[in-house]
Chains A and B, each alone.
Chain A
Amino acid sequence: MFRKLKRREHKEELATILDQHAAAVIMGGEPADADLIDKYGQTHPELESLMGLTRRLYYTLVPTEPSEEFVEDLRTRLAQIQERPAWRRRPWPSLGYRSTKLPQLVGWALSLAALVLVIFRFTGSLILLFTFLAGRKRRLASA
C-alpha cells in the first residue's frame, strides 16, 4: 500500500516536471534542462530523454496557414449557402470523395470484367471436357 502510494507520488512528480518544462518551452522560454536533470535526474532517469522529446515536438509541430485562396473561396461558398432558402442548403460533395470516385468505378468495372472472363473460361473448359469425354465414349463404342 505504502509502496503503491510512493510510486504514484513519484509518477505525479515526473508528470509535473514535464508539464512545467513543456509549458516553458512552448512559451518560448529556455528552461535550463541541465539544472532540472541535476536536480531530478537521479530519481527520474528518464527525464532527460522525455525533455528532449518535448523539444522535438516543439520544433516539429509548428502552426501552418491555409492558403488565402482557400479561405476566400470557402468564405464565398458559406455566404452563398446562407443566402439560399433553408430547403436548398444541401451539403456539397466532398472533394476527397470526388477525387477517388472515378478510380473506384474503374476498379469495380475491371474487377467485374475479370470475373466475367473467369466464368467464361471456366464454362468453356467444362464444355471442352464434356465434348472430349463424349467423343471418347463414342469412339470407344464404335471400336
Chain B
Amino acid sequence: MTDVSHSLDHLDDAELVRLAKTDQRAFGVIYERYIDRIYNYIYYRTGNKYDAEDLTSRVFQRAMRHISGYEDRGVPFSAWLYRIAHNLVVNYHRDRKRRQIVPIEDLVITAKSSEAPEFVTQQREEHEELLQAIRNLPEDRQQMLILKYIERMSNAEIGEIMGRSEGAIKSLYHRTLIALRAELNRIQKGQKRRSDVLKHLGFDRS
C-alpha cells in the first residue's frame, strides 16, 4: 500500500466512506479492513471456499459501485457491507438450490497433532455434524452465530447489523441453541438409523 493509504488507516469508517465516494484509495483501505470479515461470513454461509471467493468479489464490486449513494443512517458501515453479503448469499442459495457441505479437509481442527488419530477423526465428525446442523437453521440464526462466534461481536453490535435490539439478540441466541440441539438430535437419529440398516445388511463398520 502507498503512504497515502497508510495515512488513511487511522480514519474511522464514517470518514473513510465519505472519502471513498471520490477517492479510490479510501475504498482500498475499506477493502483491507473488511476483506477477511466478509470472506469469513460468506465462507460459513456457503460452505466452500470457491463460492466464498466468488461472492466476496461480488460484495466488494457492488459496494464500490454503490458507495457514492451510501447514506449514513446511524448504523455502522459494516452493517451495509454485511447486508450486501447476506443478500448475495440468499440469492446464491435460491438460484443454485443447494447447500454445500464444508469439505472436511477445509475445516480448521483445533486438535493437537500429538492427539490420537481416532480422537482427531471423531472431532472432525463432530465439527461436521455441528456445521450441518447450523446450515439447516433459518438464515437469521446462522447469521447471528457467525457474527457472534467468528466476528466476536457483542449483542449490541449484532443487533445493529441485523436491525434488532440487544435483548432480541439474547433471546435469539437462546432459541438458536434449543433449535440447534433439536437439529443435532435429528441428525444423530438419522445416522443411527442408517448404521442400524447397514448393520442389518451385514456392513458393520465397527
Interface residues of A (CB under 8 A from B): 11-12, 14-16, 18-19, 22-23, 26, 46, 49-50, 53-54, 56-67, 70-71, 74-75, 77-79, 81-82, 89, 91-92, 94-96, 99-100
Q: Which residues of A contact B92 (CB under 8 A)?
A: 96
Q: Which residues of A contact B154 (CB under 8 A)?
A: 23
Interface residues of B (CB under 8 A from A): 24, 27-28, 31, 35-36, 39-40, 43-44, 49-54, 56-58, 60-62, 64-65, 92, 96, 108, 110, 126-127, 130-131, 134, 145-146, 148-150, 152, 154-155, 170-171, 173-174, 177-178, 180-181, 184
Q: Is the CB of B150 within 8 A of A63?
A: yes
Q: Which residues of A contact B64 (CB under 8 A)?
A: 78, 81-82
Q: Is the CB of B39 within 8 A of A75?
A: no
Given known pairs A61-B149, A81-B64, the reply for A91 and B58 (CB within 8 Å) is: yes
Q: Is the CB of B50 within 8 A of A65?
A: no
Number of inter-chain CB pairs below 8 Å? 113
Q: Bound state CA distance, A20 and B61, in angstroms?
A: 38
Q: Which residues of A contact B149 (CB under 8 A)?
A: 26, 57-58, 61
Q: Is the CB of B181 within 8 A of A78?
A: no
Partner of B61, one of A15, A66, A78: A78
Q: Which residues of B contact A54 (CB under 8 A)?
A: 177
Q: Which residues of A contact B40 (CB under 8 A)?
A: 63-64
